[in-house]
Structure 1
Amino acid sequence: MTTEKKLEYALFTAWATSLTATLGSLYFSEFMKYEPCTLCWYQRILMYPFVLLLGIAMLRKDYTIAVYTLPLASIGACFSMYHYALQKIPALSEAGASCGRVPCTGDYINWFGFITIPFLALIAFIVVAVTSGFILRKGAFKA
């Protein structure tokens, strides 16, 4: 497989992940009527633009977008990790993690005892960051 094809697949993977995360968060809030907390909003602010930015970059084969998506995805992952820690570490959740009208410690879903909405967001941010790092490592600036 050529390097160009690998870069295309990586960019598509990042875009598809951001699209899935965006549609998932909209499903939870609009159809399931789960009201997002403040930290959820911060994560959305960082994830939603990826759909448009990565989509345009994919169509134009502009791999330099990874310069922007890697730091933003890393920041989003930090928000998600902190949010997930608030939900799962009792010492943090007891410290009063009400960050607005909806408490950040609440978990609307808890699949298999560990998969929550912030965990899903964390996985999405990690995938975008890893694919962005791969694109940068494989030479996004050679084209």
Structure 2
Amino acid sequence: MTRRDGLRPRPVLLAGTLVAATATLGSLYLSEVLGLVPCELCWVQRILMYPLVVVVGVAAVERRPAVARTLLPLSTLGAVVAGYHSYLQATATADTCGAVSCAAVQYRLLGLSVPNLSLVAFLLLTLVGVVCLRSVTGATRVA
């Protein structure tokens, strides 16, 4: 299925799969290789991200842009949680997140904390979902 503006959902879904896989492998690297302990909000983000590797990956193979109906709720909720987590870190808000403080910055990459990176990934996946949804509904680009 091709949109009127020529954007095909399959490459977008493949890019989304790459984003989700990178986020998943990155989180596993941080905990399993570097030994960082995830806080409770990190676990929620993992729960929302990990299935997206398979969900979006299968949709890319099957050329199924209707996956947006599954992708968007998970990616949007993940962005909200990651945004809140980033806010906690930015304001150094004391929290009762569990054994590991959700406000603690344990690792940075390119100046971004892990929740910041997670937020970027979830926002990119939300964009993938919006593009796919537009291709399914036949919406045209607003100039």
For the aligned pair, the TM-score class normalised by the smaller chain equals 0.7 to 0.9
Spell out the pairing of 1:130-141 with structure 2 (5 A cutoff).
130-139=127-136
TM-score by length of 1: 0.88
SS at structure 1 position matched to 2:122:
helix
SS at structure 1 position matched to 2:125:
helix
**Structure 1 ranges of 4+ moved more than 4 A:** none
1:28 corresponds in structure 2 to 30
1:123 corresponds in structure 2 to 120
Gaps spanning 5+ residues in structure 1: where? none
2:48 to 27, 46, 56: 46
Structure 1 residue identity aligned to 2:100: V
1:107 corresponds in structure 2 to 105
Q: Report the Cα distance in structure 2 between the residues aligned to 1:17 and 1:110, rounded to whole angstroms.
A: 18
Q: CA RMSD in A?
A: 1.7
1:13 corresponds in structure 2 to 15
- Count of residue correspondences: 135
Change beyond 3 A, Cα 1:140–1:8: farther
CA contact (8 A) 2:67 2:132 kept: no
Gaps spanning 5+ residues in structure 2: where? 139-143
Between 1:21-30 and 1:59-68, the stretch displaced more is 59-68
Cα deviation for residue 74 of structure 1 reads 0.4
1:59 to 61, 83, 102: 61
Structure 2 residue identity aligned to 1:52: V
Q: Percent identity?
A: 36
